[in-house]
Structure 1
Amino acid sequence: MAELLALLPQRLAWHAALSAAALALGLLIALPLGFAAARRPGLRWIALGAASLVQTIPSLALLALFYPLLLLLSNLTKATLGFGFPALGFLPAWLALALYAMLPILRNTAAGLAGVDPAVTEAARGVGMTPRQSLWKVELPLAAPVILVGVRTAAVWTIGGATLATPVGQTSLGDYIFSGLQTEAWDMVLVGCAASAVLAMVVDQGLGLVGRGLEQRRPALWIGALAALGVGLLAALAPLALPALTPRPQAYVVGAKNFSEQYVLAELIATRLEGQGARVERRINLGSAVAYRALAAGEIDAYVDYTGTLWANVLHRTDNPGRQAVLETLRTELKRRDGVVLAAPLGFENAYAFAMKREQAERLGVKSLADLAAKGPDLVMGGDMEFFSRPEWKAVEAAYGLKFKARRQFQPTFMYRALGSGEADVISAFSSDGRIAADDLVVLDDPRGALPPYDAVLLVSPRRAEDPRLKALAAQLSGKLSVQAMREANYAVDRDTDKRSPADVARELSDDIP
């Protein structure tokens, strides 16, 4: 818990900065639009319809969609104007959350202004006020309490939604939640949820005091509440200000996808770089496609991926020419296409593997994917969150004609629990996962070679291609990690009791490497 709380100031600071910036942008767009919509019924219908449509898009999907869009725009500006902008991290999260903040602000602004008694506006015109003067001196003060209710709702939504910024590379309190769910470290989940909830309640109550002060015509109350919120925001942002004022060497940015092995490997890379005197930043819980694109764009410097994933998702290949041919083709093509350096294979494979409980597999006589095809219509297949949309699944499905009674998606940790509880009969496991041995699972053979090899490889971004520290790191790690060592490391993070942190496990792994 002490380690978790030590990270809280920085994560809270980024969470507060992101939420405040998104709310401010939402206000900047929604308030003027609400003023105009209150006077033009046609515009009101269009504006509210568009804002409501945004709300129908799942927030995580909207955040993820902004990244490739911004990356495309960055590449276009780089090609035409000679400069780009960072598409990973703050920017996509800021824009997506601002869109989510708009609806309650827009709706309440339009409703509040439309609800002002027409007799009041007529009286304002009767004493010679212009429409602008009537808006600012009469209508807006009367509508302010209603508008503040919308702002309060938007603030709470934005603070809650900011926890989902983690997969696009933005530090937030969601780092606790995503990592905790993956490793079943419930203390991490609790810290992330509690901190986010407290922040939302404090802001909500502060804005409530602002609304009460406006409603009761008590300037001291609403000005004091705004001042307190401002001071609180500055205090929350303080951990970001000090590093910004202190000259420091440029950090190496190490990425990781959203499962335990990736956390361990990212910490291993970071530990080794820090041992060489480098400053390192971690960007964890990235989506698979986001991680590679961020590396190619130079927004992260290094991360570990798998040859089968790169073969299918980046090169869009469906054949399987063998381990060495896959490795050499990737080394050549990634460099040619994106400038990405395949620096070193790490020595182990983490392949997709179809796994069943031993007792059930033996009872059904299922030893291979060919056997599974015959029994599949009576079984439930469980996969991780992206498996059924991946080329690997399509290749296996086509090679064996797999059909199941139902297909269900799980967060990877819960996928193993679903197998144990009977909610799934077969799952898309990972061959270096320690839970395969711990849970006595059977891994089914792939006699038709539908799945490519999945050797773990260290990738380096184009901007760090000749970096001496990363070259030395690649030489140190090349071929040094066995699948047994990774299974033990992964299980140490994932097991139910005596759970260890990825950083502790990575330090132990690093000590075992010459």
Structure 2
Amino acid sequence: MNSGLLSLLPERLAWHVALSAAALALGLAIALPLGVLAARSPRLRWPSLALAGLVQTIPSLALLALFYPLLLGLSNLAKGAFGHGFSALGFLPSLLALTLYSMLPILRNTVTGLTGVDPAVVEAARGVGMTDRQRLWRVELPLAAPVIMAGVRTAAVWTIGAATLSTPVGQTSLGDYIFSGLQTENWAMVLTGCVASAVLALVVDQLLGLIERGTERRDRRLWGAGLAGLAVGLAVALAPLAADLAPRPTRYVIGAKNFSEQYILAELMADRLEGQGAQVTRKINLGSAVAYRALAAGEIDAYVDYSGTLWANVLGRKDNPGRAAVLAGLRAELKRRDGVVLLAPLGFENAYALAMRRDRAQVLGIRTLADLAAKAPQLTMGGDLEFFSRPEWTSVETAYGLRFKNKRQFQPTFMYRALGSGEADVISAFSSDGRIAADDLVVLGDPKGALPPYDAVLLIAPGRAEDARLRKALDGLDGAITVEAMQKANYSVDRDTGKVSPGVAAKALEKTLKR
């Protein structure tokens, strides 16, 4: 296995363990007392179990994403009231979401275990004069403990698995391997994340199983061995985080969304900063809305976005006044509204564009989106994971009256494969993607100008606007990257054979920059 992959494992494993352990501990602290109360009160039992069950019906990734804007709003309120807020990116939203996710098995098994205690045993305890508290601690909880521990084991496995989904909200975890590997089709990376997460879950489950068996058999050696194993494992896993507690120079945080081009550009910026002796953290695989909000809140220092995305999604604009007007409007409005600095366009455009296989387009006689409208009812449209919810899609759909037989969503890499296999006839491609030329795709014309320009632009957080080191590192990127160079870099990461890492692609891209 690639040593570069394994070099990142200690830190990612440490954060994964820290997040999972904290969420499980917090879930246990809430669900166990609630379970005791629910076992005692039938009126409380159904609502508490129903609420915990309802949380489980929400996809864990959605639950994680929902906590970010909520916490960001609370952080902004705290900043307004006390002059400072708290970080809404990464650990905190992940912790709260995973805590909720861990509660159902603990709560349900606590209720089941306590209500399953033989009433005759409870009555005998009452008959010898035990108080309610004494009966609970000396009789009911010991008898119910094996059932409760089974719930804790289930919660632990669920939590460790769900923690891999914390990556899109900025939390370092083993999910970083999985999300990045899926995007770049680096299956060794995906396998590393999956295997590490599975092994962690199995080890924790077995150690908790020792505690469960020790409790059931009243064997302190088993109970102690399981507890000691958890303590030692936790200490070893968290050791790499000790360095984060030591004083260190100012650290910059570079953000990136969840596709190859963003990884490459984040590495390019980070390399330039590190070349000046700066400490840099990468926060990659962020959702589009999360990335901008995190920048505006000062939780990342810089990242690359696209003018059309900012125009439509951040400012909510539906018009298309042209490239120069869009850039000027963004520069003024982002600064006025959020204090965000639009530093410079990088020199290339990564536009949304609808694309087809050339042979298929020629057979159907489709060259533009206007041509596509007549054939759309016979075709399947494929989009990336957010395209159909974006204002740009609404604009195109309305302008041309597009009504497809079927619309399907794909992770970007698989979207191109779906086009090649015939599972999709049209896709929402990206103009700087090297696979357009490599796969001989035709980009359909947009005669009505429904899609805005998508110049790649550097954004800097409000608190870093006057940072001389950051400015010096990034100023040289102004207009320095051609679309051809970006396509080549992207394809070097995305191609089927001979692919390279985003870091290697970034170093190659640096050599092509226009000086």
**TM-score bracket, shorter-length normalisation:** over 0.9
- Specify the alignment match of 2:422 in structure 1: 422
* Count of aligned pairs: 513
1:405 Cα offset (Å): 0.2
What secondary structure does 1:256 align onto?
strand
- Specify the alignment match of 2:150 in structure 1: 149
What secondary structure does 2:447 align onto?
coil
Query: 5 Å matches for 1:222-371?
Result: 222-245=223-246, 247-371=247-371
Query: Aligned equivalents of 2:296 and 2:244: distance in 1?
Result: 27
- Specify the alignment match of 1:14 in structure 2: 15
Query: Aligned equivalents of 1:127 and 1:242: distance in 2?
Result: 56
- Specify the alignment match of 1:71 in structure 2: 72
Give the alignment's TM-score, normalised by structure 2: 0.99
Query: Aligned equivalents of 1:485 and 1:74: distance in 2?
Result: 40
Deviates more, 1:330-339 or 1:121-130: 121-130
1:508 Cα offset (Å): 1.6
- Specify the alignment match of 1:205 in structure 2: 206
- The answer as to whether partners of 2:485 and 2:512 remain within 8 angstroms in 1 is no
Query: Aligned equivalents of 1:475 and 1:108: distance in 2?
Result: 58
Query: Aligned equivalents of 2:139 and 2:456: distance in 1?
Result: 66
- Residue type of the alignment partner of 1:13: A
1:243 Cα offset (Å): 3.4
- Specify the alignment match of 1:220 in structure 2: 221
Give the alignment's TM-score, normalised by structure 1: 0.99
Query: Aligned equivalents of 2:217 and 2:266: distance in 1?
Result: 55
- Residue type of the alignment partner of 1:383: G
- Specify the alignment match of 2:141 in structure 1: 140
- Residue type of the alignment partner of 1:32: P
Query: Aligned equivalents of 2:321 and 2:474: distance in 1?
Result: 25
- Deviation sequence 1:162-219 (CA, Å, 0-9, x none): 0000000000000000000000000000000000000000000110111001101101
- Specify the alignment match of 2:97 in structure 1: 96
What secondary structure does 2:433 align onto?
coil
- Residue type of the alignment partner of 1:254: I
Query: Aligned equivalents of 1:193 and 1:104: distance in 2?
Result: 23
- Residue type of the alignment partner of 2:127: G
- Residue type of the alignment partner of 1:464: R
- The answer as to whether partners of 1:272 and 1:510 remain within 8 angstroms in 2 is no
- Specify the alignment match of 1:26 in structure 2: 27
In structure 1, list runs of 5 or more residues that go unmatched: none
- Deviation sequence 1:93-120 (CA, Å, 0-9, x none): 0000000000000000010000000111
1:80 Cα offset (Å): 1.6
Query: 5 Å matches for 1:339-488?
Result: 339-488=339-488
- Specify the alignment match of 2:172 in structure 1: 171
- Specify the alignment match of 1:501 in structure 2: 501
1:244 Cα offset (Å): 1.7
Query: Aligned equivalents of 1:332 and 1:368: distance in 2?
Result: 34
- Residue type of the alignment partner of 1:269: M
- The answer as to whether partners of 1:22 and 1:97 remain within 8 angstroms in 2 is yes
Query: Aligned equivalents of 2:496 and 2:83: distance in 1?
Result: 52
- Residue type of the alignment partner of 1:369: L
- Deviation sequence 1:144-172 (CA, Å, 0-9, x none): 00000000000000000000000000000
What secondary structure does 2:320 align onto?
coil
What secondary structure does 1:449 align onto?
coil
- The answer as to whether partners of 2:481 and 2:512 remain within 8 angstroms in 1 is no
1:81 Cα offset (Å): 2.3
- Residue type of the alignment partner of 2:179: F
- Residue type of the alignment partner of 1:367: R
Query: Aligned equivalents of 1:207 and 1:411: distance in 2?
Result: 36
- Specify the alignment match of 1:124 in structure 2: 125
1:376 Cα offset (Å): 0.1
- Specify the alignment match of 2:189 in structure 1: 188
Query: Aligned equivalents of 1:474 and 1:219: distance in 2?
Result: 60
Query: Aligned equivalents of 1:241 and 1:220: distance in 2?
Result: 31
- Residue type of the alignment partner of 2:158: W
- The answer as to whether partners of 1:384 and 1:409 remain within 8 angstroms in 2 is yes
1:82 Cα offset (Å): 2.1
| 1:490 is the counterpart of 2:475 | no
- Deviation sequence 1:478-506 (CA, Å, 0-9, x none): 00000000000000000000010000110
What secondary structure does 2:449 align onto?
coil
1:83 Cα offset (Å): 1.9
Query: Aligned equivalents of 1:191 and 1:91: distance in 2?
Result: 25
Matched-pair identity in %: 75
Query: Aligned equivalents of 1:11 and 1:398: distance in 2?
Result: 44
Deviates more, 1:170-179 or 1:223-232: 223-232
- Residue type of the alignment partner of 1:2: S
- Residue type of the alignment partner of 1:319: D
1:511 Cα offset (Å): 3.0
Query: Aligned equivalents of 1:492 and 1:507: distance in 2?
Result: 12
Query: Aligned equivalents of 2:493 and 2:377: distance in 1?
Result: 35
Query: Aligned equivalents of 2:440 and 2:12: distance in 1?
Result: 38
Query: Aligned equivalents of 1:342 and 1:293: distance in 2?
Result: 14
- Residue type of the alignment partner of 2:477: L
- Residue type of the alignment partner of 1:178: F
1:475 Cα offset (Å): 1.9
1:250 Cα offset (Å): 2.0
Query: Aligned equivalents of 1:483 and 1:134: distance in 2?
Result: 73
